[in-house]
Structure 1
């Protein structure tokens, strides 16, 4: 048997990201699920950009603040304690708006742990 206890604050943040990203699954030695913690100040995006996954299901659990998510069907607000989920082939952009009063902290979970992300260009 193998177990891990990971404190996200002990991990180094990932450079070249629009907000503070800590890779939890890597630190825990998990191979089949991607788990990350994002902390975004007002005006920051969480993942890199508006994107879509071919096969990965993705969920964001909001630990604090209010997460905003842009989708082709409209914008969503995800309050503290709530979960936003996107099935494969469901484009989305998660962010903390410029006029937010506080940071947003989110645990992102994706499975399977594949690199199948593609940019999404919304139709005008």
Structure 2
């Protein structure tokens, strides 16, 4: 049996991201699930772009602050301690608005752990 304790603060920040991203799954030796820690200041978004995933289910667990998630149909406000779930094929953009009072910290979990299944989404004006 294998066990891991991972402190996100010990991991390198992923470069060229809109906010502070630390990849936890590799550090924990996980192969079937992607786990990431995001810390976003006011005005920062979590993903690189508004997008959907072809096969990956995704959840965001809000550790602190309030996460905002834009979708084609509505905007969701996800308070601390809550979870936001996204099915494959559902476009979303998670962010911390410009006028937020505090940063937001989120653990994102996606399964299966896949690379290259993110599809950019262009909302209609």
Please indicate the TM-score interval, normalised by the length of the shorter structure.
over 0.9
Deviations 1:15-69 (A, max 9, x none): 0000000000011111100000000000000011100001100000000000000
Q: How far apart are 1:5 and its partner, in Å?
A: 0.6
Counterpart of 2:124 in 1: which secondary structure? coil
TM-score for both structures, normalised by structure 2: 0.98
Counterpart-to-counterpart distance in 1, 2:63 and 2:38: 10
Q: How far apart are 1:8 and its partner, in Å?
A: 0.5
Which residue number in structure 2 is paired with residue 76 of structure 1? Answer: 76
Which residue number in structure 2 is paired with residue 102 of structure 1? Answer: 102
Over the residues paired in the alignment, what is the CA RMSD in angstroms? 0.5
Counterpart-to-counterpart distance in 1, 2:62 and 2:90: 19
Which residue number in structure 1 is paired with residue 121 of structure 2? Answer: 120
2:19 aligned with 1:28: no
Q: How far apart are 1:118 and its partner, in Å?
A: 1.0
> Structure 1: which 5+ residue stretches go unaligned?
none
TM-score for both structures, normalised by structure 1: 0.98
Counterpart-to-counterpart distance in 2, 1:121 and 1:6: 36
Count of aligned residue pairs for this structure pair? 124
Counterpart-to-counterpart distance in 2, 1:85 and 1:48: 18
Counterpart-to-counterpart distance in 1, 2:29 and 2:119: 25
